[in-house]
Structure 1
Amino acid sequence: MGMKQVIKSLDAFPRAEDHLLQKTQSGALVSVIGLIIMATLFVHELGYYLTTYTVHQMSVDLKRGETLPIHINMTFPSLPCDVLSVDAIDMSGKHEVDLDTNIWKLRLNMDGHIIGTEYISDLVEKEHTHHKHDDHKDHDEHSEQKIHLQNLDESTENIIKKVKEAIKNGEGCRVYGVLDVQRVAGNFHISVHGLNIYVAQMIFDGAKNVNVSHVIHDLSFGPKYPGLQNPLDDTNRILHDTSGTFKYYIKVVPTEYRYISKEVLPTNQFSVSEYYSPINQYDRTWPAVYFLYDLSPITVTIKEERRSFLHFITRLCAVLGGTFAVTGFVLNYLLYCSSSIDHCIHPHGWPIFFRPKSELLF
């Protein structure tokens, strides 16, 4: 046997006989249907190949000396901006009252429309200039209260009148910005704690009248990545004829998101549980909204990945080849049955789908 004959014997696509190449209407119909199916499956497989998926990995958090960014965007519909302050304290002992770096306040009317912008509360700033105090201590001595009230200057009294008028008009405040805190456990809270305790008493006539109803539009610990859902976004907590303290216990999980382009986005995700404590007439604390956070020692790495091109080609060949084989089988069955219906019925009454190879048209 010559070399040419050996090569011919390896041909996997022998030429069909002429009578098997006849074109029919049924063959055209099956061919069109098969092409539509193959095109649909091709588009599906191409989309499957181009779509990225994520892989999650965990490791020990080795970050040191970095800050933790806290993005806040909240509305207090029942408290004017002049009395609100953002305070922060952490386990290292650092305590900051009325943070004003990268924090802004928008004055809102009773309908929620913006009527002014403030960078820092003048009243809070003035009170901290004249009175350095710890917000969490009890200052309830009657004699000391008289001394402080006597020392209030005319400008402070005017601001107090202004705040009372704002409360009467239903003025609210939107607080937004970024807090950069140390990467240790701590808390930040938004309240009237920045005020001198006696000035606060003159404005509200008791802690029970401080309505800390709030709407959390956005609270996050870093930039957002695809698929991230922060559990406190769009949270509404509205109080009616009562007051109290809200506490949100937050577990921050350091996270790295690696895009398919190899770009790395450092951020954090978190879980939260909530506790509300109503105030009573014997409480000496003032209502506030606390966010108490702690950091997980585990870092989560989320990587975008795409399926390999060889995987795509393998699936594509299987899909297209399988569709071609099935349509060929259907066409054979239709043509074989068209010659005689008796050929397609088993003696027991069910269709015969498989015939000997010698009986098939191709």
Structure 2
Amino acid sequence: MGVKQAIKSLDAFPRAEDHLLQKTQSGAVVSIVGLVIMAILFLHELRYYLTTYTVHQMAVDLKRGETLPIHINMTFPSLPCDVLSVDAIDMSGKHEVDLDTNMWKLRLNGEGHIIGTEYLSDLVEKEHTIHKQDGDHHEDSENKIHLHGFDQDTENVIKKVKQALVNGEGCRVYGVLDVQRVAGNFHISVHGLNIFVAQMIFEGTNHVNVSHIIHDLSFGPKYPGIHNPLDGTTRILRGNSGTFKYYIKIVPTEYRYISKEVLPTNQFSVTEYYSTANDRTWPAVYFLYDLSPITVTIREERRSFLHFITRLCAVLGGTFALTGMLDRWMYRLLEAVTKPKSRSGFR
């Protein structure tokens, strides 16, 4: 075999025979179907390439000295805004009531419509002024308190709250708390009131209905795909009241976008506990949180361009080869059906 013949034997694209170059209707149908399939597969592969995916990594949390943002949006349908207060306590012993953050209260009527807006710190300051004044009365004469010896401002507040309870007013509390990045808790309750004022208003702990709806509770901004387990939680009490406790485990999280932008936030898990009210404790809604020592990094990534080209060649080439086989089979089938078989031999 000569050199030219040896080179020709390496040709991977031999020329088709003349009868295979005939254009037929069946071939046209197969070609159209093949083109449609290839177009669909091409768009699917292109979308697959352009879509990002996430990779999760874990490491020891090295953050120190930062604050923890707590986003709150809750509704208390059975408690007026004048009696609700937000307290925060952490493991260092720091107890804050009038937090230096943006917290708001929306007064709601019995149907849940907004009828007024007040800034929470103003209300807390007013409530603690009442608490202090009532404490002075307690030091002067305990019997005077039991005989309803309140000053005029306190009596006005009591009458206002009682009327709000009769009207079925509720309250929506929302805003952001910035607390220290240590374990602690925050709770929403009537603890801002003097105990004797609270007793005058509710006439017992069982009448403090802490039914609530958690519209949103998060510990930082939201990232794509996050699920906060308490969002949309509804707890409505029909009989005796009690205390709700949500035990929250916070996991520090960083979300790294494909653009290299980093979003620091937190995700969390939660367990729930409920205890009925007694004469020694006033009902409340507690959120007790602790931080995990492990931080999770979620990174967006995109598949490589070479990976996209490889898959595209495999998909389009496979479709072309399959349609070619199908065309040959259909051509031979139609040829066998349309042309009568020649008979040979003698009778």
State if a TM-score over 0.5 links the two structures: yes
Distance 1:297 1:325 in 2: 56
**1:145–1:198 CA contact under 8 A, matched in 2:** no
2:239 to 232, 238, 241: 241
> Match of 1:226, SS?
coil
Query: Given the superposition, is the C-alpha separation of residues 170 and 123 from structure 1 closer, same or farther in structure 2, using an over 3 Å criterion?
Result: same
Distance 1:3 1:290 in 2: 89
1:312 to 308, 312, 318: 308
**2:249–2:268 CA contact under 8 A, matched in 1:** yes
The number of aligned residues is: 334
Report the Cα offset of residue 80 of structure 1. Answer: 0.4
- Which residue in the other structure is 2:329 paired with? 333
Query: Given the superposition, is the C-alpha separation of residues 79 and 90 from structure 1 closer, same or farther in structure 2, using an over 3 Å criterion?
Result: same
Q: Which residue identity lines up with residue 48 of structure 2 in the other structure?
A: Y
- Which residue in the other structure is 2:177 paired with? 179
Query: Given the superposition, is the C-alpha separation of residues 67 and 300 from structure 1 closer, same or farther in structure 2, using an over 3 Å criterion?
Result: same
- Which residue in the other structure is 2:212 paired with? 214
> Match of 1:129, SS?
helix
Query: Given the superposition, is the C-alpha separation of residues 91 and 153 from structure 1 closer, same or farther in structure 2, using an over 3 Å criterion?
Result: same
Query: Given the superposition, is the C-alpha separation of residues 160 and 9 from structure 1 closer, same or farther in structure 2, using an over 3 Å criterion?
Result: same
**2:130–2:154 CA contact under 8 A, matched in 1:** no
**2:130–2:193 CA contact under 8 A, matched in 1:** no
Q: CA RMSD in A?
A: 2.5
Question: 1:206-248 CA distances to partner (integer Å, 9 max, x unpaired)?
Answer: 1111000000000000000001010000100000131000000
Q: Which residue identity lines up with residue 277 of structure 1 in the other structure?
A: S
- Which residue in the other structure is 2:78 paired with? 78
Report the Cα offset of residue 14 of structure 1. Answer: 3.5
Q: Which residue identity lines up with residue 325 of structure 1 in the other structure?
A: A
Identical amino acids, percent of aligned pairs: 82
Q: Which residue identity lines up with residue 298 of structure 1 in the other structure?
A: I
Q: Which residue identity lines up with residue 73 of structure 1 in the other structure?
A: N
Structure 2: which 5+ runs fail to align?
A: 340-347
Report the Cα offset of residue 305 of structure 1. Answer: 0.7
Report the Cα offset of residue 91 of structure 1. Answer: 0.1
Q: Which residue identity lines up with residue 334 of structure 1 in the other structure?
A: M
Q: Tell me whether 1:290 sits opposite 2:286 in the alignment.
A: yes
**2:78–2:211 CA contact under 8 A, matched in 1:** yes
Runs of 4+ in 1 over 2 A off after TM superposition: 1-20, 98-101, 120-127, 129-133, 143-152, 337-343
TM-score in terms of structure 2 length: 0.90
TM-score in terms of structure 1 length: 0.86
Distance 2:184 2:57 in 1: 27
Question: 1:108-149 CA distances to partner (integer Å, 9 max, x unpaired)?
Answer: 00000000001037664234235459xxxxxx99x7363486
> Match of 1:260, SS?
coil
- Which residue in the other structure is 2:343 paired with? none
**2:83–2:190 CA contact under 8 A, matched in 1:** yes
> Match of 2:38, SS?
helix
Q: Tell me whether 1:120 sits opposite 2:88 in the alignment.
A: no
Report the Cα offset of residue 335 of structure 1. Answer: 1.5
**2:131–2:192 CA contact under 8 A, matched in 1:** no
Question: 1:2-55 CA distances to partner (integer Å, 9 max, x unpaired)?
Answer: 999887665433433333211011111111111111111111111111111111
Distance 2:94 2:132 in 1: 16
- Which residue in the other structure is 1:161 paired with? 159
Distance 1:233 1:173 in 2: 18
- Which residue in the other structure is 2:344 paired with? none
Query: Given the superposition, is the C-alpha separation of residues 14 and 102 from structure 1 closer, same or farther in structure 2, using an over 3 Å criterion?
Result: same
Report the Cα offset of residue 318 of structure 1. Answer: 0.5
- Which residue in the other structure is 1:353 paired with? none
Report the Cα offset of residue 156 of structure 1. Answer: 1.6
> Match of 1:241, SS?
coil
For residues 350-361 of structure 1, the aligned pairs below 5 Å read none
Distance 2:122 2:195 in 1: 16
Report the Cα offset of residue 337 of structure 1. Answer: 2.3
